[in-house]
Homo-oligomer: A and B are copies of this chain.
């Protein structure tokens, strides 16, 4: 039970849009999309019987598969695909011959992941823009206000609110460009077969187009695109965490350089207004920073497929994505809650 889906902690940590995107239901839908497109493309290429292939694809498209039915197979096989394929074939009769043959579990799951990352990138990009817009509006409103510039936790020289907001925004713009580049190394079809040597030159372009992905050389054991994506997530939460840390510091009594509406209450001290979202941004930054270091360990992916290294990605990447998504919604909300930024006039 992680904090993102937790009955009450999700109030603080949850990101409903990303939760849908990373849900088991969405993963199954993505895996079925792979299998359907695979049958269709193999049929079109004449590698499956065209008629059976069309039937198979339709069969797959119409299948309503409850994710929990894959649980037992996943326990046995270490991944859900054998059970999924068995379910596809169960009532398929002759069309079973035109299902999955030649592909492998990793093709299915890595392609499903590519689709999830595509949706994630789109969402995060839109939120980066929204956060950037919110900061721009803040700067438009309060940018001229004085703010004591502080270095090494000490008052240094006067700056303006605009100065500080400018450098908050700077990495966000860069992150959008980084996300754009990340598309090329993540939104790729995986189609390599059991040991990465399958020849699908006649099939890949069709499939990729059907799925909205690009084709690529088999990349099954080269996890650098995925891990680089995780790194980028941590960069984003890091930049946002800096904003949160700055706001929490500004909100201190005695500093008073920001006024926020809607702070959190205390069970013991009714007078308090806690900068809950600002602190949350720091938490999320520190979490993702560390997770990036864990995900990097998955790069040592031995031979033609590592069960151990691959499964480590499953434990880490979904949480990193949801952390990033929540950091963005929380930052957008927090910036919107700022009633005044700048040193109080004295």
Contacts and interface: CB of A to CB of B under 8 A. Distances in A.
Interface of A: 1-13, 19, 22-24, 66-83, 85, 100, 102-105, 108, 148-157, 159, 163-164, 166-167, 170-171, 174-175, 178, 181, 185, 193-197, 217-225, 227-228, 231, 234-235, 237-239, 241-242, 244-246, 248-249, 251-256, 262, 264-269, 272-276, 278-280, 282-283, 285-294, 296-297, 299-309, 311-312, 314-316, 318-319
Given A72-B11, A154-B251, A287-B315, A193 B292 contact: no
* Number of chain copies forming the complex: 4
Nearest to A108: B267
Contacts of A78: 12, 152, 264, 274, 276, 279-280
A311 to B, nearest CB: 4
Nearest to A102: B268
Contacts of A22: 1
Judged by DSSP, the binding face of A is: helix
Contacts of A238: 223-224, 227, 296, 299-300
The 7 closest A-B pairs by CB, nearest first: A293-B293, A238-B299, A290-B294, A11-B75, A149-B195, A289-B296, A78-B276
A289 B279 contact: no
30 contacts: A1-B23, A2-B318, A3-B315, A9-B74, A11-B71, A11-B76, A12-B75, A12-B79, A76-B264, A76-B265, A102-B268, A103-B268, A104-B266, A108-B267, A152-B274, A152-B276, A153-B306, A155-B254, A157-B197, A159-B304, A167-B221, A171-B224, A237-B299, A239-B299, A244-B308, A245-B302, A255-B255, A279-B311, A285-B300, A289-B293
A258 to B, nearest CB: 11
Contact of A312 (B170, B171, B220, B286): B286
A301 B19 CA distance: 29
